[in-house]
Amino acid sequence: MIRRVLGRVARDWRALQAVRRRRSLEASLRGHGIRNVNLCSGTQKVPGYFGIDIGPQADLRLDLETTDLPFPTASLDTVVCMSAINYFTRERAQRLVGEICRVLRPGGVCRVGVQDMKALAERYVRGDREFFFQKLPDGRERFEGATLGDKFAAWLYGYAVDGHPCRYFYDFESLAHLFRAAGFAVVERKPFGESRIAEVRQLDNRPEQMFFLEAVK
């Protein structure tokens, strides 16, 4: 009983600290004129986009696993997230999609690219060794794993970034469900490089393994 109570207190304390941190960050960013945000941006730099990531190359270093988006409601035009929403649990991803909906203005656009469970599963069932056993220019394996099965499973559990492995695997419908549940007015699957976002060609990548979802608030 005591252990459960202490656990609940610890969780509540962490949640309170996360709220305080988000509010502090929101206050510090106010007045910076941020309208477009690239979540989990890694090393990518796109003109006009404010990058958020756990890595040091971002404009704001922030762990989105524990902290919500530090922007006022209805303050952003565009939010993008490429090859990253699969690094969160489904529960946390639903929370982040809700946060994206909150911070976008009416008519604002979110574009997400993520590894396509359906397409990759079809390649696995076909035994597409040419795809799974690709080599990088330096001779290393492109995809993690020793066998075909290992390489497919890596998209569920592997590809750790700073100790954070993949946590979930989506097809279009499963990801679209999160956006519809969050209240987006339009949720569409878009081809590679086709978007309402002018900078899409600087954002989209790896169309042979990813699908692209675009949602309008």
Domains of the chain: 34-116+170-216 (3.40.50.150)
* pLDDT score of 9: 46
pTM, two decimals, is 0.89
Segment 124-153, tens digit of pLDDT: 999 999 999 999 999 999 999 999 999 999
Comparing CA positions, the residue from 111, 106, 41 lying closest to residue 75 is 106
* pLDDT score of 23: 73
Q: Residue 159 region, left (φ>0) first, then alpha (ψ -120 to 50), else beta? A: left
* pLDDT score of 85: 97
Comparing CA positions, the residue from 180, 148, 145 lying closest to residue 166 is 145
* pLDDT score of 12: 44
* pLDDT score of 30: 81
* pLDDT score of 8: 57
The burial of 58, by beta-carbon neighbours within 10 Å (0-12 exposed, 13-18 middle, 19 or more buried), is given as buried
- Segments of the chain scoring below 50 in pLDDT: 5, 9-10, 12
b/e code 170-193 from CB counts within 10 Å (16+ = b)? bbbeebbebbeebebeebeebebe
Strands 36-39 and 76-82: parallel
Helices (DSSP H) in the chain: which residue ranges? 2-29, 90-103, 117-126, 129-132, 148-157, 172-182, 200-203
**Which tokens go with 44?**
């990518």
